[in-house]
Structure 1
Amino acid sequence: MPPSSAFAIPAEAAAVGRQDRRIRLLLLTDTPVLAPGGSERFLQNLATRLPREHYRVSVVQLHAGHMPLVGQVSSRLPGVQLQSQPVHAVYDRSGLRAWRALRAMLQAEHFDIVQSQHEKADLLNALLPRRNGTVHVSNRRDMGFKKSARLQQLFRYLNPRFDTVVAPARQILSGLARFEQLDALHMTWIPNGVDTRRFAPATHQTRQDARRALGLEQQAVVFGCVARLTEVKRHIDLIDAFAQVHRASPQARLLLIGDGPMLAPVQDRMSALGVADAVVLLSFRDDVEAILPALDALVLASSSEGMSNAILEGMACGLPVIATAVGGNLHLVQHESTGLLVPARDPISLAAAMQTLVRSPQLAQHMGATARSRTEREFSLDAMVQAFDQMYRHLLDQRAPRRA
């Protein structure tokens, strides 16, 4: 269906919807669903991979950006209805307008499940009137590092309004129990999944081709970071660490894949430390699977992390991962097995881990192979979607009858 910025639902469409016996799922998100971030990729995968014969999926993005073209929606979100309702803040007129529009949607279309992710969507979901048979789910994608003490207090009050709070990392749920007093009976853990066919170990030829395309020497030891250039991703720490590695091993190179507000400070630090010629800035890329074959290892220096899709994609490509010991990284990266964990905001420890892999290529290859095996075994995309399907059906059974 074509995207729309309005919520008006023709009576005949609503009537058809009521005759459709598929599970009706409404996904709410603060961000543009076709944006390149990890939480957006998760939503795209979930919305398009749930079995279409059993689910009818609608997505509402509470974002002020322009709606994508019809062709983009049909190609990247086939079978999904996408609408937009910009919200500046839940407590202003835009928030009230969105709440009213969502309430009208629920009354007209009788959704079985309303699932939200990010703060605005969660607040609106929690404040919607409850309808018999409708399940409300909060999907937490990060450690909540942006939440103020006041907002945490508000969620302590609102969390019981959700039938469950689902998260991709146990560390996220532990943080919710600690800071928002979330009851364990309201928690569900479903790890992220990765497309292990799209992200796969490189052949010798694809590795050579990828390096040639990026202007990298075949003998270089290449580290890569796939993350938006934001403060929480701590690219400055990574540049500091890489400068130490490059002084000891001049063949080392660093690829930064992503854009964001920290670009200028990162460039300034590269110049100040004399490593600008050894760092490749690639900005945003939608073909990460074509770049990862050029790497010897993936690095993530975040000060806070949920469950990183970038780490999963690197592991699926058979890369060892160096990551900070925060959030979901602790679950994904098995220290000295699939990669190395280091303290956050500690460039010296980060440099030491990177230098370990420079000096021990056989160790790096062994860790990468182990990471690939673990990804295939525990983090497949099919397993993630199946887990959400099972959770939805379980919650609906508890709320039966689910049809109006």
Structure 2
Amino acid sequence: MTSRRLRILYVDESNAVGGAEKYLKMVLGYFSRFHDTYLSHPDDDAHSRFYAELPTAFIPCRPEHYRRPAALFRHYLKIFRTLRPDMIHANLPDPSSCRTALAAAFCAGTPAVTVTNHLPNLTYPRSWRGKLVGKSMWDWFVWRIVFGIVDTSIVVSKASARSLESNYPAEKDKICCIYNGVDIARFNFGDTGQARRVRSDFGVADDAVLFCSIGRLEQQKGYEYLLSAMQQLVARHPHVKLLLIGDGTLLRELKTLALQLGIEGQVIFAGARSDIPELLSASDIYVNSSLFEGLPFSILEAMAAGLPIIATGVDGNREIVVDGETGVLVRPRDPDNLAQEMRNLVEAPERRAAIGRNARELVVRQYSQESMFRETENLYRRLTEPRGADAASGLRPVKE
């Protein structure tokens, strides 16, 4: 821990709860034990319920403020001048989030400013004039100001570091790669009866191969390609099942698609769930069909549960899924390729068991929650202690 107790303000401006918010909840749950923490978040039921159990001070922000930049700026400026935090840590589910909070932090003279940029592979909006030169000059101007304010941008994968450097005016020496981590102990399974009970609740036979996928039902996750692949797989293996865990704006559309494909009996829409370890314990194979990613907690948790992974070879997926060892990489937007690899693992139970063991060993070795917290604490120390006070606590270098 740092040599003194810090006052840290965390900022969340997300419009939904997903992996980025899960990251923030984990970080807050840990650092609230050692520092005085505060969280500004949208004042709605979803966020309030999600963060309710945290031992932190909440500063809800009225939803209409997010549509009125001047009111939002005054909201943040009042917080900074009242709390006088040692640091702001803004959580960015997309790169455009929290820009007003960062500007207010600068105007209030907040000593340290850091952000976690989960998806820097999302590029900024481009104006018609900007398209003539390949970039929006206005956006570039705004981003130059924003990145001038930020002391350090945390990214969750090396792929994200490269995206941040190429898509935005971020200086390389201000980028810090800290991999997401999981609580390994939550995925130590010993009760096989529990898995049988879960499968029974969903009407899945003990001898059926159950695929599982976790994520918001949104365009990013590419679920239409997964359902198309399931249609092909069911033609050869009619007893396979797919458990989709999550909620989102595409729920009705995906249910309709499953019906049109004739696989409504093989696809289980489980909705948003909190019992993820139990659901993974009942599954046989984890599948990710995303079009882009940061470093998905869902894949890390499935690996911790000892499941073989089938994932699209995008962004951070390529860093945690070692093709042929801890999982199988497939092309995004290619249901034929996805169906083939799903079938290969269905037909090779010994191979998928070996891949699952390798996956868990990798997570235990490299992606623990403890490692993520330790490196984040080192960063906090570097940003808040006098320059040179602890040379050993510098940034984790981004290596190619």
Give the aligned partner of residue 13 of structure 2. 30
Instruction: Select the residue among 230, 253, 257 that pairs with 1:242.
Output: 230
Deviations 1:94-113 (A, max 9, x none): x2222222222222222111
> What is the aligned-residue RMSD (CA, Å)?
2.4
Instruction: Select the residue among 30, 36, 51 that pairs with 1:56.
Output: 36
Give the aligned partner of residue 139 of structure 1. 116
Give the aligned partner of residue 132 of structure 2. none
Q: Where does 1:2-401 land on structure 2 (aligned, <5 Å)? A: 22-31=5-14, 36-50=17-31, 52=33, 54-61=34-41, 63-66=42-45, 76-78=53-55, 80-88=56-64, 93=68, 95-118=69-92, 119-129=96-106, 134-145=111-122, 147-149=124-126, 150=136, 153=140, 154-201=142-189, 203-398=191-386
- Is the Cα–Cα contact under 8 Å of residues 36 and 286 in structure 1 kept in the other structure? no
In the comparison of the two structures, how many residue pairs are matched? Answer: 373
Q: Which amino acid aligns with 2:90?
A: S
Q: Distance in 2 between matches of 1:295 and 1:66?
A: 31
- Is the Cα–Cα contact under 8 Å of residues 122 and 138 in structure 1 kept in the other structure? no
- Is the Cα–Cα contact under 8 Å of residues 241 and 348 in structure 1 kept in the other structure? yes
SS for the counterpart of 2:97 is helix
CA 1:389–1:123 in structure 2 vs 1: closer, same or farther (change >3 Å)? same
- Is the Cα–Cα contact under 8 Å of residues 76 and 104 in structure 2 kept in the other structure? no
Structure 1 window deviating more from structure 2 (182-191 vs 95-104): it is 95-104
Q: Distance in 2 between matches of 1:221 and 1:146?
A: 39
Q: Which amino acid aligns with 1:317?
A: A
Q: Distance in 2 between matches of 1:297 and 1:188?
A: 32
Q: Distance in 2 between matches of 1:102 and 1:397?
A: 24
- Is the Cα–Cα contact under 8 Å of residues 326 and 355 in structure 2 kept in the other structure? yes
CA 1:289–1:366 in structure 2 vs 1: closer, same or farther (change >3 Å)? same
Q: Distance in 2 between matches of 1:73 and 1:306?
A: 22
Q: Which amino acid aligns with 1:391?
A: L
SS for the counterpart of 1:129 is helix
CA 1:366–1:81 in structure 2 vs 1: closer, same or farther (change >3 Å)? same
- Is the Cα–Cα contact under 8 Å of residues 117 and 140 in structure 1 kept in the other structure? yes
CA 1:349–1:42 in structure 2 vs 1: closer, same or farther (change >3 Å)? same
Q: Distance in 2 between matches of 1:399 and 1:251?
A: 62
SS for the counterpart of 1:299 is strand
Identical-residue share of aligned pairs (%): 26
